[in-house]
Amino acid sequence: MSETANLRHWLESGAKAIKGARTKLDSINVFPVPDSDTGTNMYLTLQEGNRAVSRLPSTASHREVVAAFVRGALMGARGNSGVIVSQYLSAFLTGLDERGGLDKVGAQGIAEALDEAADAAYGAVLDPVEGTILSVARAAAKGAADTLPSKPDRSTAIVAAVLAARTALAQTHEDLPSAKAAGVVDAGAAGLVLQLESLAENIAGADALDALDEVDWEIRGGRERIGRDELAHTGHAHGGAYEVMFVVAHDSGAGATLRDQLGKIGDSVAVTGSHGLWQAHVHTDAPHLAVEVAHAHRSYQMLVRNVALSHIGDRASTGVVALTTCPGLAEPLADAGAVVLVVPDPAALKPRALVRAVKDASGRAAVVAAGHPALRAAALKLADKRSKPELTVLRCTHEAQVVAAVAASALITPGQDIAEQMAEAVASTAVGSSTGDALDDDVDRLLSRSTEVVTLVLADGINPGIADAVRLSARTTAPEADINVYLGGHSEPAVLIGVENPPAH
């Protein structure tokens, strides 16, 4: 047996435990946003960590396995819960490695590593909230530490940690108002308990927890939870309507700076860093501001979704993925239900980020609309490699066609084929660009009497007033056309043009 066999087994069993409970965790997810994705986010985060480990040879050292898992989980972190659990496990695994590794660490080392992990989890969050995964993390550390005066063996310490974690999990129902109202425990906290239980079974034996009482995740007496439709119209107490996540290169002061900047524009802020990278997460009503923060820190790709409208809570639906070079299009595309990947420099697109966006869109099938030839090429390459989710890559390479396709997806009625309707919208959209000097003439060349929509995407620094001439000109040539103007935030060309006509049948 290799020196890392038990470590790998725990990491794999922890992910399997989340996978098995994924649907249940999603269903009890009410904090920080009731968007039914905590189980999915935690599982996909752990899955990425294990995938990175699987690429290592069986002879890899304990430290190499830890480094691979930590980096993989960091890069693959999904949502607030994923960011926190990736930071927690990063600190815990590093602490184990510094104390001789999983097979050699003693009771005191386990208690110390759990404490360091709890500190790291709290440190990842701008405004820590009790009654959550953080409370369970702290309770587990204290549970192990409280056994130390009796000089316990490591099995006793980790079982005590689980007992304390379960007690804290039950208490989340009382301490977290949204959980109490819904009649549940906190989903993120439940997910962390599953990880600790898997660890205890690895260290103390498969039957180590048999004598302990389990915690009910649903408690009678809670009122109906906020549904997705209600969330879409009423908002929610924590966080804005949009989730924005991005990765930036690591430097010593970036974490604190990111937490501060994102805290000013939203909440549910979580920032975790390791192995040369920072992963940032925020819920906000101003996604363009979060994208600006990411861009200022030289992030090469940002993921944006509307938490109420995206398909992440319905894994069986066909999802929509929009790939764009224009930061300013993130919000309107997300408003139409797409998972949006903003890539200002198409050459910098990482396959991992594209895979992540596709998985976030759906577990079954997704339609991809790309606003640049290089982005479409990357999507086609991924479609050739993957069988699940099934990918349909539209024949579009222009930002205005992406806008048209995603808008069409938002108007789908039962029985319609979403990919077919989106492809039809792309085919019906003539495209072009302009320096802006004669924009009305550039648009006029594409107009017809039947034109329904004119889309103008303006580069950074272009005055929106430039569209006034287009509005005047279109009144004569295409009097029924809607003129939609977006501040794209890209560098060039000055104006991207799309003219949508009725589909030819």
- pTM for the complete prediction? 0.80
Q: Is the pLDDT of residue 8 over 90?
A: yes
Average pLDDT on 363-374 reads: 92
**The CA-based dihedral angle spanning residues 13, 133, 66, 251, taken in that order and rounded to the nearest 10 degrees:** 150
Which is more confidently placed, 147 or 253? 147
- Side by side, the strands of the sheet bearing 339-342 are 266-274, 277-284, 242-249, 302-306, 339-342, 318-324, 365-370, 390-393
Write down the H helix ranges in 183-316.
187-204, 228-234, 254-263, 287-296
pLDDT tier at 226, thresholds 50, 70, 90: very low
pLDDT tier at 91, thresholds 50, 70, 90: very high
Instruction: Determine the pLDDT at residue 250.
Output: 65
Cα–Cα distance, 13 to 395 (Å, whole number): 41
Instruction: Determine the pLDDT at residue 70.
Output: 93
Instruction: Determine the pLDDT at residue 58.
Output: 92
Which is more confidently placed, 394 or 386? 394
Average pLDDT on 154-170 reads: 97
Q: Is the pLDDT of residue 367 over 90?
A: yes
Instruction: Determine the pLDDT at residue 388.
Output: 72
pLDDT tier at 240, thresholds 50, 70, 90: confident
Integer CA distances (angstroms), 76 to 137, 344, 355, 378, in order = 21, 20, 10, 19
Which is more confidently placed, 239 or 151? 151
pLDDT tier at 232, thresholds 50, 70, 90: very low
Buried b (16+ CB within 10 A) or exposed e, 212-228: eeebebebeebeebbee
Q: Tens digits of per-residue pLDDT, 121-133? A: 999 998 899 999 9
Cα–Cα distance, 285 to 48 (Å, whole number): 29
Q: Return the SS3 of 446.
A: coil
Instruction: Determine the pLDDT at residue 313.
Output: 42
pLDDT tier at 239, thresholds 50, 70, 90: low
When the pLDDT of each residue in the chain is averaged and rounded to a whole number, the result is 89
Q: Is the pLDDT of residue 333 over 90?
A: yes
Q: Tens digits of per-residue pLDDT, 450-505? A: 999 999 999 999 999 999 999 998 888 899 899 999 999 999 999 999 999 987 65
Q: Is the pLDDT of residue 30 over 80?
A: yes
- Residues 129 and 101 sit within 8 Å (Cβ to Cβ): no
Instruction: Determine the pLDDT at residue 272.
Output: 87
Helix, strand, coil abundance in the chain, percent, nearest 5: 50, 15, 35
Instruction: Determine the pLDDT at residue 237.
Output: 44
Average pLDDT on 72-80 reads: 88
Cα–Cα distance, 317 to 319 (Å, whole number): 6
pLDDT tier at 1, thresholds 50, 70, 90: low
The first and second tokens of residue 313, run together, are 């809570």
- Give the lowest-confidence range in 4-13, 87-96, 151-160, 280-289: 280-289
Residue type, 27: S
pLDDT tier at 231, thresholds 50, 70, 90: very low
% of the chain residues with pLDDT over 90: 69
Instruction: Determine the pLDDT at residue 278.
Output: 87
Q: Is the pLDDT of residue 228 over 60?
A: no
Cα–Cα distance, 291 to 270 (Å, whole number): 15
